[in-house]
Amino acid sequence: MDFRISEERQMLSDMLRRFWGNDPMLEARNAAVYEAPYQVPGVWAQLAELGVFGAFLSEDEGGFGGTAEDVVVVFEEAGRALSAEPLLGQLLVMRLLAGLGRADLLEEMVAGATRGALAFAEPALSVDLSRTAATAARRGDGWVLNGRKSAIYGGPGADVLLVTARTDAGLGLFLLRDAPLIEAAMVDGGGIAELVMEDLAAECLAEDAAPPVEAALDLGRIALCSEAVGAMDMLTAMTVDYLKQRRQFGRPLASFQALQHRVVDMVMEGEQARSIVIRAMASYGTPDQARHVAMAKNLLGRVAPHVAEEAIQLHGGIGMTWEYPGSHYAKRLVLLDHQLGDRRDHALRLMRMCAPDAGAVSRPVTARTPESQTA
């Protein structure tokens, strides 16, 4: 089987690598992202000029891509560059709006003039949308929302917020503008937000939107797994380069067999991760989508933090310093496990799919994971 990407997608990958692939961009990122607006000034507009957001939509929807493979290409390069741009929120909202035929908003989002974010998670909810506690009720000619949403990726600075809430018909999808968000930085510097809703007026996009929301979230999980693959590639390459240069006992560290074996393990885990991302990407839109996406998210949640830990140990003290890029890649890899459900959430998701009668299997409700912590 030929796993090479098409010529058009290779051009997109090369363009993004030229755009992002330089040290000054990383320095600018670390200087900007730990406080509002949690992204490097000007980069969002440049990405729009390059047509990156068009990769999230098909030609019929106003873009030039729209497949899982297009998304994987963009997010892998974002992972290699350690980009803090809120691409995940933009992707999720664009896919949902495309399904609803909102060409007016999509045109603005492709141009970069409008940013979006999806509010679906709650303090006791990470992957099982049937447990959504937020509610929506009719009030006159409109709708009002009540409840709390957490872990809204890309929420700070978003112009459009899509919110899931329980209706009489099922899981509804609602649109908010100028939402009263509580903003903060994640441990890796990206922006995140929470939303408390008390009779908050909203526009109803769909009274039952569970399948489209599930599909969008699975595409977001594939994107995050691809981002982890790109970050793992970069961190492994940085580790190999460091071991070749650093000398101990008169020899390069790379000459010690025990360290070589540990690096080989990092490379193998990276290739295993890439393979399962390709499998999930190929399954998107098929009956195997949910199972393969959960498998990929569970595997990446295990190997990405391990690669991060190995890289820090092989670097020694310098691997934990702010000035060294490796420490920031390590933080991002650890956090990626917790976004859109962590390894345990997706292990339980797989158990439910493999044993439908195991509805009693659940994960204890605990305080949310590091995605809600501030730097």
Average of per-residue pLDDT across 299-322: 94
φ, ψ for residue 162 (rounded to 5)?
Answer: -95, 130
Predicted pLDDT of residue 249: 85
**Residue 198 CB burial class (10 angstroms; 0-12, 13-18, ≥19):** exposed
Predicted pLDDT of residue 357: 63
Predicted pLDDT of residue 362: 53
Q: Are 190 and 222 in contact (CB under 8 A)?
A: no
Predicted pLDDT of residue 343: 95
pLDDT band at 355 (very low <50, low <70, confident <90, very high): confident
Which domains does the chain possess?
7-114 (1.10.540.10), 118-208 (2.40.110.10), 212-363 (1.20.140.10)
pLDDT band at 290 (very low <50, low <70, confident <90, very high): very high
71-106 tens-digit pLDDT = 999 999 999 999 999 999 999 999 999 999 999 999
pLDDT band at 245 (very low <50, low <70, confident <90, very high): confident
Which of 135, 202, 215, 216 lies closest to 174, judged by CA? 202
Predicted pLDDT of residue 22: 67
pLDDT band at 356 (very low <50, low <70, confident <90, very high): low
- For residue 375, how many other CB atoms are within 10 A of its CB? 13
What's the helix, strand, coil split of the chain in %, to 5? 55, 15, 30
Which of 94, 9, 52, 8 lies closest to 281, judged by CA? 9
**pLDDT above 80: residue 3:** no
How does the average pLDDT of the chain come out, rounded? 91
The residues facing 163 across adjacent strands are 119, 174
Which residue type is seen at 201? A
35-78 tens-digit pLDDT = 888 999 899 999 999 999 999 999 999 999 999 999 999 999 99
